[in-house]
Structure 1
Amino acid sequence: MAFRRRTKSYPLFSQEFVIHNHADIGFCLVLCVLIGLMFEVTAKTAFLFILPQYNVSVPAADSETVHYHYGPKDLLAILFYVFITIILHAVVQEYILDKISKRLHLSKVKHSKFNESGQLVIFHLSSVVWCFYVVVTEGYLTNPRSLWEDYPHVYLPFQVKFFYLCQLAYWLHALPELYFQKVRKEEIPRQLQYICLYLVHIAGAYLLNLSRLGLLLLLLQYGTEFLFHMARLFSFADENNEKLFNAWAAVFGVTRLFILTLAVLAIGFGLARVENQAFDPEKGNFNTLLCAYWNEQSAKRRVPAAPRLPARLVKRESGYHENGVVKAENGTSPRTKKLKSP
């Protein structure tokens, strides 16, 4: 299977070989895991890479439902889906973006931005649809109180956990793609910044059991980012077309207001008023503030500060010292004797 037509062969496992064949290498690794499912000896190990782990049967009203929580084995599933994302990235690049960019005749700088926005448009659109489906089916959108009620939300439905695993896999795959796509050095710090910000926020919501709040925030954020990158793609075809940028600017302000309101409502009012407020990592409870004993310290009786005594005057033979200056008894500085020149 070849994702690119190559007119030149490179030495095996050289730098250029890995760059031009990274999708094929990832496909071979994924294929090895899938073949492992066919044999009983390796099936249990292969399932660790494919299916979410740590399933727990939670009793419901009529029957039992299967939920999941996180653990170290999630890293194996994330690694597996990183390789799948690399393959999909190469397919989109080869069969969609490269063909469009050839017709536009873009410069090197615009070509790099076009590939970046093209990949992110497809990712944000699919993530918005998927996230909206999860939020609606789980009832988080119609019942905002579910964002903080019964916290910590240790047990996750299958589609919620799988969504977070795929999100982490995508943003982790973006790190080696900077090398595979030969991104310009000037662009690397900017792209590293937003990749790391997404990783920190998504992993934080997943590990701190704030998955419900994280889903709604990602839905708003991805919708805004989709409009921005779509507007940038249209600007490459027509530089005078600024309608989508104007629409993005309006949506951006409204979205930021919703994100701020939702975060304050869920964290500042919701989690701050629940009864279970303690730092207990074993139970997955992180509902605490850095200043945990602020109310106790403010209620304590403060001891008034002792008044500062005036500086003590030390008498000398010809006066006293004050602030390092010798003064006479009447408060004037003594005159120094002039030395006669020889």
Structure 2
Amino acid sequence: MAIRKKNNKNPPVFSHEFVIQNHADIVSCVAMVFLLGLMFEVRAAARARARFPSTRPPDGLGETTLNYFHHGLKDLATVFFYMLVAIIMHAIIQEYVLDKINRKMHFSKTKHSKFNESGQLSIFYLFSCVWGASILTSENLLSNPVSLWEGYPHTLMPFQMKFFYISQLGYWLHALPELYFQKTKKEDVPRQLVYISLYLVHIAGAYILNLNRLGLVLLVLHYFVELLFHVSRLVYFSNENRQSGFTVWAILYVLGRLLTLSLSVLTVGFGLAGAEQQGLDLAAGNFNVLFVRVTVLAAICATQAFMMWKFINFQLRRWREHAQQQAQKKKPVSVKSKAKKDKTNGVNGTLSSNGADSPRSRKEKSS
């Protein structure tokens, strides 16, 4: 899918500017190679069905048989393909939605980059929340919390859950080349790399360690809170007087961290610790040993503590900025009152210098 930039300048071929301007077209060409390969795969499957016409579901299951999948090395190619798809979708949303709004709103450079970031993430978080919530409902994970650890290892996943994890990994991997394509400022790159790495480590960890059910619940919870923050920031950019969304987000952010820790400790610390299948078995996908459980809990607790530390610093910075704004608003008033007072004192001094009401002038008159 080609995306054409309206730019009169023609940079040299294969230069940095050429790649940045045409990265969506280049990635689309690479994605087409994968699509051609899938077409041959579909034809091969059709030939196999024609060659073995007697293939049918097991007796008693009929046509309602559900296919389940597990993870493997071939997932790397699938993740790479959906990373390319995410880059293309990112470019489409940027050019046909966010850039048009930016031209109408006339944002500054700082607000321009933050608006693009919040706009992209709001769409992704909304889509992921709705998709994840539908999987949780269909799998009855919310109505039966015991299923988070019961029957571990959960090596087999329904198609929707596996596709959800593949898409999540593809999206957060696409955020790495986007740092180059979007010309991210050098001072913003470390912050971006930190939270992209945290997403990749936690999502891949839940996927590989067969903690996909717990990971899905925690992702939907986290995405919902982050969606509220970025929507509140978009509303704030449109009208700076609307800041009530940040207050609601701050409350839910703290509750989200507490709920994340509670579910993690309940599932990994108590549920898996009391499970029947204990021991490390790579072939069976069982990682239910003390070392793995402690490592998982330590990673989750460290991440939540880091997020709370960043949250507290963010709130303190906001309060300081608010206090400075209030001080700046009061400063002109005090200067104005002081000028008025000096003006009054100046009039009295003039009268005194003219000898109108000074004690010395009265004394001279009496003498």
Q: Distance in 2 between matches of 1:37 and 1:173?
A: 21
Distance 1:120 1:59, change over 3 A: farther
Q: Is the 8 A contact 2:206 2:212 kept in 1?
A: yes
The percentage of aligned residue pairs carrying the same residue is 54
Distance 1:59 1:201, change over 3 A: farther
Q: Which residue in the other structure is 1:226 paired with?
A: 227
Deviation at 1:234, TM superposition (A): 1.3
Q: Distance in 2 between matches of 1:65 and 1:104?
A: 49
Distance 1:38 1:114, change over 3 A: same
Moved more, 271-280 or 210-219: 271-280
User: What SS does the aligned partner of 1:286 have?
Assistant: strand
Q: Distance in 2 between matches of 1:276 and 1:165?
A: 27
The one-letter amino acid of 1:93's match is Q
Distance 1:37 1:263, change over 3 A: closer
The one-letter amino acid of 1:89's match is H
Q: Determine which structure has the larger helix proportion and give its number.
A: 2
Distance 1:171 1:285, change over 3 A: same
Q: Distance in 1 between matches of 2:9 and 2:59?
A: 61
TM-score using structure 1 length: 0.77
Q: Which residue in the other structure is 2:247 paired with?
A: 246
**Does residue 263 of the first structure (1) align with residue 264 of the second (2)?**
yes
Q: Which residue in the other structure is 2:278 paired with?
A: 277
1:96-245 equivalent positions in 2, closer than 5 A: 96-245=97-246
Deviation at 1:39, TM superposition (A): 4.6
Q: Distance in 2 between matches of 1:253 and 1:240?
A: 24
Q: Distance in 2 between matches of 1:4 and 1:85?
A: 18
The one-letter amino acid of 2:136's match is V
Q: Which residue in the other structure is 2:309 paired with?
A: none
Deviation at 1:32, TM superposition (A): 2.8
Deviation at 1:4, TM superposition (A): 1.8
Q: Which residue in the other structure is 1:289 paired with?
A: 290
Deviation at 1:31, TM superposition (A): 2.2
Q: Which residue in the other structure is 2:341 paired with?
A: none
Deviation string, structure 1 residues 19-72 (Cα, Å, up to 9, x no partner): 1101011111222332344457x9669xxxxxxxxxxx9989846532111111
Deviation at 1:141, TM superposition (A): 1.1
Q: Is the 8 A contact 2:3 2:92 kept in 1?
A: no
User: What SS does the aligned partner of 1:290 have?
Assistant: helix
Q: Is the 8 A contact 1:59 1:65 kept in 2?
A: no
Distance 1:3 1:61, change over 3 A: farther
The one-letter amino acid of 1:227's match is L
Q: Is the 8 A contact 1:58 1:65 kept in 2?
A: no
Q: Distance in 1 between matches of 2:198 and 2:93?
A: 24
Q: Which residue in the other structure is 1:82 paired with?
A: 83
Deviation string, structure 1 residues 279-308 (Cα, Å, up to 9, x no partner): 12221111111299xxxxxxxxxxxxxxxx
The one-letter amino acid of 1:116's match is E
Deviation at 1:105, TM superposition (A): 1.4
Distance 1:61 1:251, change over 3 A: farther
What is the aligned residue count? 280
Q: Is the 8 A contact 1:36 1:43 kept in 2?
A: no
Q: Which residue in the other structure is 2:13 paired with?
A: 12
Runs of at least 5 residues in structure 2 that lack an aligned partner in the other structure: 46-55, 294-367
Q: Which residue in the other structure is 2:96 paired with?
A: 95
Q: How big is the alpha-carbon RMSD for the aligned residues of Structure 1 and Structure 2?
A: 2.3
Q: Is the 8 A contact 1:3 1:94 kept in 2?
A: no
1:329-340 equivalent positions in 2, closer than 5 A: none
